[in-house]
A and B are shown apart, each in its own frame.
Chain A
Amino acid sequence: MNPFTYARPGGAGEAVEAVTADPGACFLAGGTNLVDHLKLGVASPTALVDVRGAVDDTIEESPDGGVRIGAGVTNSDLAAHPVIRRSYPVLSSALLAGASGQLRNMATTGGNLLQRTRCVYFQDVTTPCNKREPGSGCSALEGHGRDNAVLGTSEQCVATHPSDMAVGLLVLDAVVVVLGPSGERRVPLADLHRLPGAEPERDTVLERGELITAVELPAPLAEGRGAYRKVRDRASYAFALVSVAALVHVRGDRITEARIALGGVAHAPWRARRTEAALEGRPLTEAGLRVAAEAELARARPGKDNAFKVPLAVNTCTAVLRDLTGVGS
């Protein structure tokens, strides 16, 4: 760990200014990921700008029936909030599937979205990693690949995004409110995280100095049924091999609206638009659900260790949809 300065600005604008002005500075929120990186040498900022206290940590219902979640709201508080539990249970479930109670007490909404991959090579400074050190090579491509991505990968990076919360937020059509040096902007969550391409060092579309201040959710899907299912190597306290967030609206024997997102399969939380399209308006059958799930995974390009993620994602997605729609029961 290198020496660094530490500041606690009083407001979000001040925090943005501080980070913008200092190329060695970075934001600190719950610290559940960054502090590890400081110890491991993955990150070596010379200044930490602590935004707890600078960003909103409340949850407000908005006039349009949605909610505005301050970026400083902890994962624990968000999961337990009565409005979230009542109107957005898929988000509560996703949050509670992540990390541990202690970590959720520290981790914030903004920080959760910006946490970095747990790829073992990214976290080990003695091995090459394009994300940590652009141009050094990707150790994961031919290395330990059990946790690697299968969708949207590049020759430069096969890392996955580790967040459960983000997968839940994705089916809620969340919008991220960002404050930057030139003011505030809104970024749909679906556009926040990048695929690795040739620049795997860039996880998101955020520019230097930009700070997430809130996450906005539109009004919940009327009569929608949602679920978050996470499959992992142990029953708790592990990152997803595959996770599925699903929100469906069923009328009669048809799905009229489906929103499905996958975790553990890509560099970003992954909206399964092809599955959604294959479901909407079609009669409900178990075979149809599976075909729809397969539609998204048809583009998967697994490596030597993670081919299982393809059938696992198809099976999990099918099972979640089966449970939500009651097909086959």
Chain B
Amino acid sequence: MIGTEGSGAVGAPMERIEGRAKVTGTAPYAYEHDFPDPLHVHPVLSTVPRGRVRSVDVSAAQGLTGVRATLTAPDVAGTVGAEDREFAVLQDGEVFFRGQIVAAVVADTPEIARQAATLVRVDYEVDDHEVELPPARRELYRPEEVNTGAEADTARGDADAVLADSTVRIDRTYRTPREYNNPMEPHCSIAVWETDPERLVLYDSTQGVHVVRRTLAEVLGLDAERIRVISPHVGGGFGSKGSPHAHNVLVVLAARALPGRAVKLALTRRQMFSLVGYRPNTIQRIRIGAEEDGRIGALVHDVVETSSLAKEYAEQSGVCSRMMYTARARRTTHRLAALDVPIPFWMRAPGEAPGMFALETAMDELAYACGLDPIELRLRNEPGRDPESGLPWSGRHLARCLRQGAERFGWDTRPELPRGHRDGDWWVGTGVASAVYPRLTLPGSEAEIVLERDGSHTVSIGAADIGTGTWTALTQIAADALGCGPDRVRLRIGDSRLPTASVAGGSSGISSWGSAVVAAARAFRDAHGDRPAPGARSRAETPENPEREEYAMYSFGSQFAEVRVNADTGEVRVPRILGVFSAGRIINPRTARSQLTGGMVMGLSMALHEEGVVDPRFGHVVNGDLAGYHVAANADVGRVEAEWLDEVDPHVNALGAAGVGEIGIVGTAAAIANAAFHATGVRVRDLPLTPDRFLG
């Protein structure tokens, strides 16, 4: 196993390789690649939520000095595949949501393009629309599967009968609002289209250059070999850059209209609220039947959530209830409303983040109903094997996370009952929740290693660093796998010319790419021995892991929060949160801590602030900018601590490691809501926890 050989790079808190370039402003982000005289495209977005474009008048826009082209459906219809409505940009006049691209302008400067876009007149035939959950006039439906490919519904045993026979019953409905990824770097692209032969080069802010290349190849009907996607640095994605979106097609259409010229696109923050995905709002009913000692007999988790009529997206909010706790009868369901809204997509821990808010708040309610400590309740419902698959765990260390967290946090000093601690004008409480995230490895990554003349190894894989630390962590893994120092490794990522890599999603990067790097290093050592000659070269793919069939593989965690609620104003403050995680071997404690605490801060933000407010009359999110859509400010974030168990998962991969990009956000909101209840006696089941919820 890696880490026991080589230079001991794995496990060291190595500083970010690209850190200096980033803080000195020399690391190029997608928009910053230099081209002489680039053009700029600005989209025109629909102002109706449903209908058809009858006509587009671009004459005023075209009259503006500096405008080079306008793009409308009649101009470009038929040029891209229309099967996936997200990518069928300007292929017909159908409007599926407010904020859809209905035209665009290309100009010499971004300012001219933006001004010209305001001069485009669009005439619509308007249909009735429906954007709210639950819908008044539309049927809910069961998707074929949920995101990740899991079943929409599961059932084991007679949950209704067991519920009816239980002495303690919880039946509550929880709601989470639309939440937006809002990476600091907006979605940006530069496209250059060359003719004869046709070739596309795209500089993109993406979580996967090969995903973008594959998708655009399909959409454009172009051989993937003719497309190159470059993305060395990405200013955050949180899932929203895990796939290309409509703007990528638009910038390509613009470039194709002006071959040979670089065309730049940077979405505005407001445009991001309709074009690059979001976490759909959910309504989750949870029913738990338990005995007085807290042992759960039945668990039912019914999810109703938003999808888009333009393209289905089924957030897997209920899947956590399939494996978290023991129950002899269990049912989970997902129902979607296909609404006239922008297309939801991945946002950090899709499924687990909203699902565990509901389940872990319900568990807190059950603890009070049984008169049990919330930690003790969870310990009493620990399943010996995965309740869903029946498989043994590759390592289920939730109990250790809870116990270690309780000790570090000082859990045992809390008053048993809510509203039991007041400090001046503030009610004070503490709360706990569990966290979970699957240990995923995606297939299809390949790494190549070449020995250079100077004795260094070039390690190539088309992976992405979206701020997570990939540059550094893969360098460490390669160093140990090759038995050299990290300074002898030259990592290359973020270019589709490099060997194929899977998307930076599902916290799978370290496992998927890292395993490919380890396999390539083994192949290199096997093929070239101890004294390889310069130019020696080996490639290998992420190996298949037969143990995936034998073990249920999950990371776990415990989240603890202290919350203060002002007795006069209801203001909520979170002076400290602590997370203790089990995530296998930690490759780099520095970048791992940053990811975990970052996830926890995002969970705090989800708990207290984040809510895309939809106006049902107009159909759009009316607070779609960073003044109106609140994310946590520095002043909201108190002491945030993340620690982890000293652990190696012997089954998950050759590294014994799992990714930590997502688990930090899971459970944080529930821990905070549970702490707010403990402080005030007020149970909030709809996020976010704004001050008005606590006004006495």
Contacts and interface: CB of A to CB of B under 8 A. Distances in A.
A235 B636 contact: yes
B613 A234 contact: no
Interface range for B: 20 to 34
A318 B568 contact: yes
Contacts of B627: 118
A126 to B, nearest CB: 5
Contacts of B568: 315-316, 318-319
A233 B628 contact: no
Interface stretch (B54-62, B340-348, B687-695): B687-695
A291 to B, nearest CB: 16
Interface stretch (A191-199, A219-227, A236-244, A264-272): A236-244
Contacts of A1: 111, 114-115
B635 A144 contact: no
Interface string A180-208: 00000000000000000000000000000
A6 interface: no
Contact of A234 (B570, B630, B696): B630
A124 interface: yes
B505 to A, nearest CB: 29
A215 B635 CA distance: 31
Nearest to B692: A308
A33 B569 CA distance: 29
A311 B618 contact: no
Given A118-B627, A127-B618, A231 B691 contact: yes
B47 interface: yes
A319 B615 contact: no
A144 B633 contact: no
Contact of A236 (B114, B618, B633): B633
Contacts of B617: 139, 142-143
A144 B615 contact: yes
B569 A233 contact: no
A144 B621 CA distance: 10
B562 to A, nearest CB: 15
A27 interface: no
Given A143-B615, A311-B695, A233 B111 contact: no
Contact of B622 (A120, A231, A237, A316): A120
Interface in B598-629: 608-609, 613, 615, 617-618, 622-623, 627-628
Interface in A274-325: 308, 311-312, 315-316, 318-319
B601 to A, nearest CB: 13
Nearest to B609: A234
B622 A143 contact: yes
Contacts of A5: none
B632 interface: yes
A150 to B, nearest CB: 13
A231 B115 contact: no
Nearest to B614: A144
Contact of B695 (A39, A236, A312): A312
Contacts of A312: 569-570, 691-692, 695
B351 to A, nearest CB: 27
A236 B613 CA distance: 20
Contacts of A319: 425, 568-569
A150 B696 CA distance: 19
A102 interface: no
A136 to B, nearest CB: 13
Given A234-B630, A312-B569, A319-B568, A2 B115 contact: yes
A236 B623 CA distance: 18
Interface residues of A, number: 31
A41 B695 contact: no
Contacts of A124: 622
Contacts of B692: 241, 308, 312
A121 interface: yes
Contact of B623 (A3, A144, A234): A144
Contact of B633 (A3, A126, A235, A308): A235
Nearest to A242: B569
A139 B115 CA distance: 25
A319 B570 CA distance: 12
B633 A234 contact: yes
B618 A231 contact: no
B160 interface: no
A233 B618 CA distance: 25
Nearest to B630: A234
A234 B690 CA distance: 8
Interface in A131-186: 139, 142-144, 146
Interface in A113-127: 118, 120-121, 124, 126-127
Contact of B573 (A3, A127, A144, A235): A235
A91 to B, nearest CB: 21
Contacts of A311: 695
A315 B622 contact: no
A245 B24 CA distance: 43
Given A233-B691, A315-B569, A319-B425, 13 more contacts: A1-B111, A39-B114, A120-B622, A127-B615, A139-B617, A139-B618, A143-B617, A143-B622, A234-B609, A234-B632, A236-B635, A236-B636, A312-B570
Interface of A: 1-3, 39, 41, 118, 120-121, 124, 126-127, 139, 142-144, 146, 231, 233-238, 241, 308, 311-312, 315-316, 318-319
6 contacts: A1-B111, A120-B628, A124-B622, A126-B618, A143-B617, A315-B569
Interface of B: 47, 111, 114-115, 118, 425, 568-571, 573, 608-609, 613, 615, 617-618, 622-623, 627-628, 630, 632-636, 690-692, 695-696
